[in-house]
Amino acid sequence: MASYIPPCGFYFKVEFVGIEGMSDDTEQRFQEVSGLSVEIEIDELKEGGQNLFTYKLPKRAKYPNLVLKRGMLKGSKIINWFNDCIAGYFLASPFPRLVKPADIIITLMDEAGEETAVWTVVQAYPLKMSTSDFKAADNAIVVETIELAYQYFTRK
């Protein structure tokens, strides 16, 4: 019987679908992806006369925000999309334009560069962007963090 070795989580790629000019591979390299989880909310139903347990009934799925981290890039199409979404929603007058969501494909790869698993994040839109602190005493890369809300994800 062959032994199965689970894949390592350091070889992956992130692709944004639906953002203009996203052909550059360096644009889509990230050092960290988090938030790929789902939780089913429940309703507890207490039945009269039944004191041993409560019924747990499923309600809906709940997805946390997707968080992407990478070294800061100059002229980033993702940051341009982020800024367009913010400007379109808050700065457009007299009425805000709709935010244009993007699908995101996250691919975990094996040592040969073949797909191990693929997550498709549906209709993601930006919520928050932050940049790491600047410290004169440290010799560290500036990391930008992008937080996105999304509808749901599927795993292939």
DSSP letter for 28, please.
Answer: G
Q: Where are the beta strands (DSSP E) in the chain?
A: 12-17, 32-34, 39-45, 55-62, 66-71, 102-109, 115-131, 143-149, 152-155
**Under 8 Å between Cβ of 102 and 124:** yes
Report pTM: 0.84
CATH number of 12-46+54-155: 2.30.110.20
Q: What is the tens place of the pLDDT at every residue in 26-69?
A: 667 899 999 999 999 999 999 888 889 999 999 999 999 999 99
Q: What is the tens place of the pLDDT at every residue in 128-144?
A: 999 999 999 989 999 99
